[in-house]
Amino acid sequence: MSLFSGRWGQPSLRAGVGILLVCSMGLSGCSQGTTSTALTTESVQQEAGHAKKELVLAVGTEPEGGFDPTTGWGQYGSPLFQSTLLKRDAKLQLVNDLATAHSISEDGLTWTVTIRDDVKFSDGELLTAEDVQFTFETAAKSGSVIDLTNMSEVQAPDASTVIFTLKSPQSTFISLLTTLGIVPEHAYGADYSEHPVGSGPYKLVQWDQGQQAIVEANDEYYGNKSMFQKLTFLYLDEDAAYAAAQAGTVDMAAIPAAFSKQEVNGMRLEAVKTVDNRGIMFPMQPAGAESGEGLPAGNDVTSDLAIRKAVNVVIDRNALVEGVLEGYGRPAYSVSDDLPWGNSEAVFTDASLHEAKQILAAGGWIDTDGDGVVEKNGVKAEFNLIYFAGDLTRQSLALAAADMVAQAGVQINVEGKSREETKKMAYSNAVLFGWGSHDPLETYNLYSSTHKGEGYYNVGLYSNPIVDSWMERALQATSEEEALPFWQRAEWDGTTGFSYQGDAPWAWLVNIDHLYLVKNGLNIGEQQIHPHGHGWPVTSNLEEWSWDERTN
């Protein structure tokens, strides 16, 4: 099969930059002739002209819910405006941020954190343990993606001590200490998400929703300070970000792999390794089931293990990396490749058409009428694969995978749908999703029977009591290290698991490198392995960024 068939090759670039760069790419709230701050090509060039102390960046999407950590801001990257108790360095090792020390009781139920006594919010008010208590209590009540249901209470016995009491041991609680930014009780209100006050390295000074955010260095920041005093974040789609880089109006732009082979004068390409994965989620129940919300669920084709295994083994993941990602990525076999809780035994040899056909035949799937599609008990091996409309990379991956799978006699119909449509259809149709986190709790959410159908978690309604048991033991461990073997056994324990060798509820495809065009002279330091692309993970080490005039 040709890797560059017209059906799924990446689209060609669209040429042209309008008078107003942001407006010309169709962003809302802007029309030709608008003169919003920093939106015209001329004004952006002026900003870029002070690149020693100021940067213009197009590195991520706008947070839909604003900049409130208690409702999810910062979960897939740095909260930027707020500090966290702990954080992870470039090697993902735990280091202190607000905390000076932390300890866990022998039974794993009491976590005690001591914090610095010299930290001020950007408005000059002192940060105390009561602000930490307020933050966690507020997040617990928010009903958001932040799961604090296992926290019984949080106390602040004095200004520098915080005590968390859990209902049961939870090894992943440490991740909440590294991602939940601390908000000020005195300055928290209904509009906080739009006007955040925090103790992080930067403060928000202007947010033109749908267009840009302008931030300045927080003079009260206690940590190592970045040399850049002002950052302008432009909310551009992929085409517009690339066009801005070509025009020289940004210092850094996140781009898709489709644009990676095009050289841009004065800029270099930086590729950052990630666990930002893409994979096919399979409905696990036969047709006729219902979701918890009463939506149609189940699929008579994908609920068959032979189909799921054949799809997994026939897909050439290396070809996807080379053909769709232009080489910028690596094959994916789980949601946590190369992370400590991943199981290397779950990696398998893929791209075997012969093995895929054997699996199907052994499972009773035979092409009885010679039309190239196998069938079983009168049911054709045919199902839909949904992707989020407008996501060109997901579209290309879906089409490529469908081409590969067709050779084994399984027909996949690829359809782009809105997020709202996808949520309703996901219980009965395969979906090409993207995940990837520094927190193993994501593994639990994706595969646990207790989280079936919560948001986008486990919409395939996967359930395996043995997998649940291993993951519960991982959660109830008193440390990350103690939990690791249990997470790995949940993936594959030699008999069962959520890996390909076990139940194969997913066909993971690729881990996508995050690609950035970076202006010559700008050094972005040593990057962590990035999580999923929501948020601005590249900014997590802003204090390390520097400018070298000699390479400009």
Tens digits of per-residue pLDDT, 343-397? 999 999 888 999 999 999 999 999 999 999 999 999 999 999 999 998 889 999 9
What confidence score (pLDDT) does residue 350 get?
87
For residue 6, is pLDDT > 50?
Answer: no
Residue 151: beta bridge partners?
166
Element (H, E) at 444: helix 441-447
Give the integer Cα–Cα distance in Å for 241 and 46: 17
End-to-end CA distance of the chain: 44
Name the nearest CA neighbour of 455 among 419, 416, 508.
419
SS3 assignment, position 108: coil
For residue 332, is pLDDT > 70?
Answer: yes
C-alpha distances in angstroms, 73 versus 67, 68, 354? 5, 5, 47
225 touches 201 (CB < 8 A): yes
What confidence score (pLDDT) does residue 551 get?
62
**Is the pTM above the cut of 0.75?**
yes
Residue range 129-148: mean pLDDT, rounded: 93
SS3 assignment, position 247: helix
Element (H, E) at 234: strand 230-234
Residue range 188-205: mean pLDDT, rounded: 96
Q: How many CB atoms lie within 10 A of CB 231?
A: 24
For residue 234, is pLDDT > 50?
Answer: yes
Residue type, position 64, single letter: E
Largest CA distance in the chain: 76
Binned at pLDDT 50, 70 and 90, residue 228 comes out as very high
Residue range 59-65: mean pLDDT, rounded: 87
179: which 2 tokens? 């991602």
**Distant-in-sequence, close-in-space partners of 70: CB < 8 Å, separation ≥ 6:** 135, 138, 139, 142, 144, 146, 180, 183
178 touches 84 (CB < 8 A): yes
What confidence score (pLDDT) does residue 513 get?
96
Range in 47-51, 266-270, 527-531 the model is least confident about = 47-51
Element (H, E) at 320: helix 317-323
321 touches 273 (CB < 8 A): no
Name the nearest CA neighbour of 11 among 241, 258, 320.
258
Q: How many CB atoms lie within 10 A of CB 93?
A: 8
